[in-house]
Amino acid sequence: MKRIALATFVALGMGIAAGVAAQAGNDRTNHVPFADVDRDKDGKLNREEGNSINGFDFSRADTNNDGYVARAEFDAAMAHSTARGDGKVSADEANDIDGFNFSAADADDDRWLSRAEFQTAMSTSRPRG
Site for Ca ion, rule CB under 5 A: 38, 40, 42, 49, 62, 64, 66, 68, 73, 106, 108, 110, 112, 117
* C-beta closer to Ca ion: residue 2 or 39: 39
**In terms of Cα–Cα distance, which of 61, 120, 63, 60 is closest to 89?**
120
Shortest reach from residue 78's CB to Ca ion, in Å: 14
Q: In angstroms, what is the C-alpha Rg of the chain?
A: 17
Shortest reach from residue 55's CB to Ca ion, in Å: 19
Shortest reach from residue 70's CB to Ca ion, in Å: 5
Shortest reach from residue 72's CB to Ca ion, in Å: 9
Q: Chain-centre distance of CA 103, in angstroms?
A: 17
Q: Identify residue 113 by its one-letter amino acid code.
A: L
* C-beta closer to Ca ion: residue 33 or 129: 33
Give 120: exposed, middle or buried? Use CB within 10 Å, 0-12, 13-18, 19+: middle
Rounded to an integer, what distance in angstroms lies between the CA atom of residue 79 and that of residue 25? 14
Q: Identify residue 25 by its one-letter amino acid code.
A: G
* C-beta closer to Ca ion: residue 2 or 85: 85
* C-beta closer to Ca ion: residue 68 or 100: 68
